[in-house]
Amino acid sequence: MGAIEFDKLPHIGESVKRKEDYRFLTGAGNYTDDITLANQAACVFVRSPHAHAKINRIDISKAKAAEGVVGVLTGDDVAADKINGLPCGWLITSVDGQPMKEPPHPILAQGKVRHVGDPVVMIVAETLTQAKNAAELVEIDYDVLPAVVSARDAAKPGAPALHDIAPDNHCYKWAIGDKAAVDAVFAKAAHVTRLDLYNNRLVPNAMEPRSAIGAYSRASDEYTLYVANQNPHVERLLMTAFVMGLPEHKVRVIAPDVGGGFGSKIYLYSEDVCLTWAAKKLNRAIKWTAERSESFLTDAHGRDHHSHAELAMDKDGKFLGLRVHTDANLGAYLSTFATAVPTILYATLLAGQYTTPLVYVEVDAWFTNTTPVDAYRGAGRPEATYLLERIVSRAAWEMGLGQDEIRKRNFITTFPYQTPVALQYDVGDYHACMDSAQKLADVAGYAARKAASEAKGLKRGIGYSSYIEACGIAPSNIAGALGARAGLFECGEIRVHPTGSVTVFTGSHSHGQGHETTFAQVVAARLGIPVENVDVVHGDTGRVPFGMGTYGSRSISVGGAAIMKALDKIENKAKKIAAHLLEAADTDIDFAGGEFTVRGTDKKIAFGAVALTAYVPHNYPLDKLEPGLNETAFYDPTNFTFPAGTYICEVEVNPQTGETRVDRFTAVDDFGTIINPMIVEGQVHGGIVQGLGQALLENCVYDENGQLVTGSFMDYAMPRADDFPTFKLGTVCTPCTHNPLGTKGCGEAGAIGSPPALINAVLDALAPLGVKDIDMPASPSRVWQAIQNAKA
Amino acid sequence: MQVQLQVNGRSVSIEAADNTLLVQALRENLKLTGTHVGCDTAQCGACTVLVDGNAVKSCNVLLAQMAGRSVTTIEGLAAADGTMHPMQAAFKDCHGLQCGFCTTGMVMSAVDLVHRHPGADEAQIRKQLEGNLCRCTGYQNIVRAVQQGAAAMAK
C-alpha cells in the first residue's frame, strides 16, 4: 500500500487517546527500578572524584568484610575474566585515510581514571544501605594528573593526554565537500559573513534515572538484563558479541517502561555490563539505579561544539558557498555513537533548506577529561541548524535584508534535490512553511507589539529559524560504507489471533512517544478493526524477533514501515484464505474496511472469520497454504526522511536586568503524513522546550580541574512550567516519497529548530544597543554583560 | 522503629530503620511503586504524595514524621472500581503525559493545586507547578490538563 491510499484510511490523522496512559496515570507503570526479582541484591559504584588520575592502589579488603557485602569487583576482576571494553558503533576515517583513534573503554577503570564519575569499584550487598556503607570503606590511592576540559584546550600542544594511542587527544579529522571549489567561490563573493559560536554542552536528564537489573539462571545458563534503554536488541548485540563474548540466545534484554531517553538511553553503559557479568559471578540478581547526581556525571552528554563558519554571498544575498570548521568535544571515551554525531549527522545537514551550491565542512574531534558526549535529542542536526540559522540571520542583518527575505531568496524549490553534502532531499515545501509560520505568528502585527514593548522600556526582537533535519538513518549499506557498524533496518511482527485481534511486536521502543497507540492505529486502519483490538509489544528481546530501537525520530518511518510490510504479507495471505472460502480466484479478492469481497459480486467475508479459519483450518487450502496468520517483516529504508519547518520566536528583553522572556513562539513543521496529531503536537511541545531550554537556561559547566559545577537540579537550570508561554503550532504536509506511510518523524524537530530562533530574537532585540553576538544560554547575566560590553 | 499511619485509606504499620524516608517506605515496604524518585535534591517532584490532603515531596520527609498521618499516593487516587479521578482523566484527555515517570507526582501536585487555587488561571498554574519537572511534554498539555481537571473537580 502506498502513502496516498494509507493517508485516507480511518484512524489515520485521528487524535486517538493513548492506550498506555491508564497504567501511567494510576501508578501501574513498570519502570526498571519498580521491579524486584527473587534473590535480588543491591549495587553501588565507587566512582572517580578526579577528572584525571593514575590509580596506584585499590584496597577493597575492608569493604569486602563489611556487613551484608556479597561481592566487590574491580578492573582487575574485569581483566581476569577477559571482559572487553565498550565498543564504538561508528568508525570515522580521517582525511588522511587513517581510522579514528579508538582507545579502550574499560567497564571498570584499569590503572587510570579519565573523568569525574568514571566507575572504579563495583559493590554488591544485600541492601542498598549496606552497599553504600561498604563503598565508604574502599581506599583508592590516586596520583592526580592535570586535566583538560574543552576541545579547544585539548588541541593545544602540550595539553594533558588522556590516552596512550592518542597523545595529542585527537580522535579524527574528518571533512566533506570540495574545499578548492569552496575557497574559489569565497574569493569572488560580494559579501562574506563570519561567525564563531559555541554550541553549549547539555545534560539529557530524562526524568527516570538510568537503572538496570542483571540476573542469571544456573538452571538454563541464561542471563536476563532489565535496563532503561531505547534499543534492547542493540544493547544485547553490543554486549554479547563485542564485550562479553556470550551467545545471543542466552541473553535476554528487557527494556520495560522507560521514563524518557532523549538519546541518553541508546548506549551500552559500563553499569549494564557489570551487572550482567556480576550476576553470574555472584549468582545473584543485582539492581543498580542511578542517583540524579550519578546521572549528571555518567549519562552521555550532548552537543559541545566550537565552530567557525563563513557564508559567501552575491550582491543580492544569494548564497554561493559555506565553509565551516568545528572542534567537537567527545569527552573521555567514545560512547556508542559519539563519532557519528559531529560528522555524518551534522555536516550533511549544513546545506539546510538552501540552494547553497558549495559547502565544505572540516571537523576535528577531541578527547577531554569530561563525561562522554553522544547523541542527544537531535544529535548533530541541532548543532548544524544552530550554526546555519545563526549565520543566515547574521547575513540578513549585514546585507540589510529581512530574516525572512534572505531565507526565501535561497530556499530549495525543486525536488528531489541533491545537496553538496551527500544527502538527497526527496520532497518539501519550504516557502509554504515560512508563509504559514508568518501568518500564524502574526508577523504583520509585530511592529505594534514592538512599539508597545518599547513604551514599557523593553526591547522586543523577532528571530527566525528554517530548519531541516534527517530522520531514519538509511540505507544500511550506505551507512555501512560511511562507517556504521550496525544495520539500520527495523523489524515488525503481526500476530493475528484466532478471533481477529492482533498483537504487534516491534523492534522500535517507546519511552514516551506513544507507540502503543500510534502503531495500533496503523494496524487498525489497515485491517479495519478497532484500535482497542490491537496491542503493541516492544522492549523485550525475548518476545520481539529483532530490532534496532528508537532514536533519530525513526520509529514510525522505519518501524512503522516494517509493520506495513508485515501487514502486506498478512493481507496477501488472508486474501488467499478468503478466496478459498468465497470460492473465487485470489486475484478477484478486494480487502477494505475489514471485509474481503469478490470483485463484481456481493460475496464477502469479515477479517475475523478469515483469521479464525487460519487457525481452525477445516475448510482450508492446506495443500497450498500453511495455517496460521502471523507474519514478520524487516524494512530497510532507501533514504533518510527530511522533516523541515520554520520557527518564529518573539522575545522581550529587559535591558536593565538582562532578563529575556519568550513572549510568542510559532512552529510550522512538515512531518509528512501525521497519524496521531495529538501525539505529534506533544512531541513538538517537548522538543521546543528542550531547545529553548538550551538557548535560555541549560548549561553544563566544568571548572578548569574537570569538576562538574552543574551537577544537580540545584545548579543546572531545567525548564519549568512557568519558563515559557503556550506555543502556536501549524503543519504543512508533503508526504515522504519513499516509505509506505508518507511519514517523516517528529521527535526531535522542536529541539533542532528552536535554539537559533530564540538567539536570533535576542540579537534582533539587542541590535539597537549594539550587541552583535551572544552564546547560549542567553542567561540574564550574559545578556546584561553583552549590553554593557556594547556600551563600552 | 514501628510507625502507624494511613496509606490510601488503609491503616498500616511499617517496621523500618529510623532514617527511612517516606518514599522508601512507600516503594520498598509497601511496594507502592507509582511514587517515583527522579532526583536527590527535592527538586523534581516525581515523588509527590498527599499528606493529610497537602502535596508533599515524599523524598523530603521521614517515615517517622508520618505517624498518625494520612498519606494518599497515586495508587489511592482512582475510585475503588478503577475509574480514574477527574484529574487523571484530564491528563489522559489532554495528552498531559508522555513517558509517565513524572506524571504520578505531577497529578498529585495538580490535585493539591486545585484544592488550594480552585480558579487558577494559566499563569498561576504554571507558577504553582514549578516544583514538578517534566522533560517530555513541554508542560503545555499539562497546564491544559490541570485546567480541565479543575473544571471537572468543581462539578
CATH of the domain at B66: 3.10.20.30
User: Are B66 and B46 found together in one domain?
Assistant: yes
Overall domain count for chain B: 2
User: Are B20 and B66 found together in one domain?
Assistant: yes
Mean pLDDT throughout A582-607?
A: 96
The CATH number for B138's domain is 1.10.150.120
Residues A558 and A474: beta-carbon distance below 8 Å: yes
* Chain A residues whose beta carbon lies within 8 Å of the beta carbon of residue B97: 21, 24-25
Least CB-CB distance to A207: which of B95, B102, B129? B102
User: Are B49 and B97 found together in one domain?
Assistant: no
Say if B134 is an interface residue toward chain A (CB within 8 Å): yes
CB-based contact B92 A18, cutoff 8 Å: yes
Listed residue (A492, A491, A498) closest to A629, CA to CA = A498
CB proximity list for A770: less than 8 A, separation 6 or greater? A790, A791
Binding-face residues of B in 26-55 toward A, CB within 8 A: 27, 31-41, 43-44, 46
Separation CA A727–CA B143 (nearest Å): 12
Separation CA A554–CA A538 (nearest Å): 15
- The DSSP secondary structure of A731-780, one letter per residue, reads E-----SSSTT-B---SSHHHHHHHHHHHHHHHHHHGGGT----PSS--H
Residues A37 and A215: beta-carbon distance below 8 Å: yes
Q: Is residue B146 part of a domain?
A: yes
Average pLDDT, chain A: 97
Task: Examine the fold and report which residue of B10, B42, B74 is the final residue of a domain before the chain moves on.
Answer: B74
3-state helix, strand, coil in chain A (%, to 5): 30, 25, 45
CB proximity list for A33: less than 8 A, separation 6 or greater? A208, A209, A211, A287, A289, B33, B36, B37
CB-based contact B99 A690, cutoff 8 Å: no
Going from the C-alpha of A752 to that of each of A266, A302, A376, A755, the distances in angstroms are: 19, 13, 11, 7
Residues A88 and A102: beta-carbon distance below 8 Å: yes
Q: Look up residue A572 and give its DSSP letter.
A: H
pLDDT, tens only, A702-757? 999 999 999 999 999 999 999 999 999 999 999 999 999 999 999 999 999 999 99
pLDDT, tens only, A403-425? 999 999 999 999 999 999 999 99
Q: What is the pLDDT of residue A390?
A: 98
CB proximity list for A220: less than 8 A, separation 6 or greater? none
Separation CA A734–CA B109 (nearest Å): 41
The three-class DSSP label of residue A167 is: coil
CB-based contact B36 A726, cutoff 8 Å: no
Lookup: cell for A469:
533535519
Alpha helices (H) along A205-290: 232-237, 270-282
User: Are B66 and B121 found together in one domain?
Assistant: no
User: Are B69 and B90 found together in one domain?
Assistant: no
Q: Look up residue B119 and give its DSSP letter.
A: T
Domain of B138?
86-153
Going from the C-alpha of A126 to that of each of A69, A149, A637, B24, the distances in angstroms are: 6, 38, 48, 16
Q: Is residue B79 part of a domain?
A: no
User: Are B53 and B92 found together in one domain?
Assistant: no
- Closest Cα of chain A to B25: distance in Å? 13
CB-based contact B34 A33, cutoff 8 Å: no
CB-based contact A26 B137, cutoff 8 Å: no
The size of the A-B interface in CB pairs under 8 A is: 182
Q: What is the pLDDT of residue A473?
A: 87
CB proximity list for A332: less than 8 A, separation 6 or greater? A114, A115, A118, A162, A367, A368, A369, A370, A371, A372
Has residue A4 got a pLDDT over 70?
A: no
Separation CA A603–CA A583 (nearest Å): 10
* Chain B residues whose beta carbon lies within 8 Å of the beta carbon of residue A27: 32-35, 73-75, 104
Separation CA A50–CA A145 (nearest Å): 9
Q: Is residue B103 part of a domain?
A: yes
Say if A727 is an interface residue toward chain B (CB within 8 Å): yes
The pTM is what? Answer: 0.98
Residues A220 and A472: beta-carbon distance below 8 Å: no
Give the pLDDT band (50/70/90) at residue A172. Answer: very high
Say if B122 is an interface residue toward chain A (CB within 8 Å): yes
The angle subtended at Cα A214 by Cα A212 and Cα A216, nearest 5°, is: 165
pLDDT, tens only, B3-40? 999 999 999 999 999 999 999 999 999 999 999 999 99
Residues A9 and A526: beta-carbon distance below 8 Å: yes
pLDDT, tens only, A532-579? 999 999 999 999 999 999 999 999 999 999 999 999 999 999 999 999
Separation CA A704–CA A715 (nearest Å): 17
Q: Look up residue A240 and give its DSSP letter.
A: I
- Closest Cα of chain B to A208: distance in Å? 6
Residue A626: CB atoms within 10 Å: 11
CB-based contact B130 A721, cutoff 8 Å: yes
Going from the C-alpha of A483 to that of each of A340, A364, A716, A729, the distances in angstroms are: 8, 17, 35, 37
User: Are B148 and B91 found together in one domain?
Assistant: yes
pLDDT, tens only, A94-107? 999 999 999 999 99
CB-based contact B95 A679, cutoff 8 Å: yes
User: Are B92 and B69 found together in one domain?
Assistant: no
ipTM of the complex: 0.99
Task: Examine the fold and report which residue of B17, B51, B74 is the final residue of a domain before the chain moves on.
Answer: B74
Give the residue carrying C-alpha cell 475510585: B79
Say if B12 is an interface residue toward chain A (CB within 8 Å): no
Backbone angles phi, psi at B88, to 5 degrees: -60, -45
The angle subtended at Cα A428 by Cα A426 and Cα A429, nearest 5°, is: 155
Say if A516 is an interface residue toward chain B (CB within 8 Å): no
Q: Is residue B81 part of a domain?
A: no
C-alpha R_g of chain A:
27
Nearest residue in B to A510, CA atom: B99
User: Are B7 and B69 found together in one domain?
Assistant: yes
User: Are B112 and B55 found together in one domain?
Assistant: no
Has residue A676 got a pLDDT over 70?
A: yes
Task: Examine the fold and report which residue of B74, B101, B118 is the final residue of a domain before the chain moves on.
Answer: B74
Say if B57 is an interface residue toward chain A (CB within 8 Å): no
User: Are B69 and B103 found together in one domain?
Assistant: no
The angle subtended at Cα A308 by Cα A303 and Cα A314, nearest 5°, is: 125
User: Are B136 and B103 found together in one domain?
Assistant: yes
